[in-house]
Amino acid sequence: MKIYVDADASPAKDIVISVAKVFTIRVVLVKSINHFSHDEEMEGVETVYVDTGADAADYRIMQLAEKGDLIITQDYGLASLGLGKGCLVLHHKGFAYTNKNIDQLLQTRHLSAKARRSGQRTKGPKPYTDEDRQKFRDLLEKTIQYKVEKGSNDD
């Protein structure tokens, strides 16, 4: 199992890296070339840079991810694709995307986009809080522990 992070806007990268290190799981940060850094990569962490296109990171993650991998994203479209591929998908706010909730999430996103196109104002995301960080960390640890106990070959 690997963990793929849609890393351009993810406030949870450090949490993912620290938890993955405990479980000795490789992390792949996928980000736009606009966020290029000369910083030395940490052991167990790989950074993949993609073009600046709107969904370039999403497409690359879907090329790389395999059934049973873990994807961290706030993008509902990528989450839907990941679920379809048999991946586990988590949001940095501390909830798991599932086949039961993805349709409602996509519908809500569609209605918000439609409202914005018609000139209505919609609320943006709430700030990322310490409570969100802890909720995400707990969910990530629980998800990995479940995956480890289940056995990575029992996808």
Rounded Cα–Cα distance for residues 13 and 86 (Å): 22
Q: How far apart are CA 38 and CA 6, in angstroms?
A: 19
pLDDT tens, position by position, 45-73: 999 999 988 789 999 999 999 999 999 99
CATH number for the domain spanning 114: value is 3.40.50
Q: What's the pTM?
A: 0.84
Please enumerate in sequence order all residues whose Cβ is within 8 A of that of 110, keeping only pairs 6 or more positions apart, or say none. none
Q: How many structural domains comprise the chain?
A: 1
155 domain-assigned: no
In a domain, 109, yes or no: yes
**89 lies in which domain range?**
2-150
Note the pLDDT tens digit of each residue in 110-143: 677 777 788 887 777 788 999 999 999 999 999 9
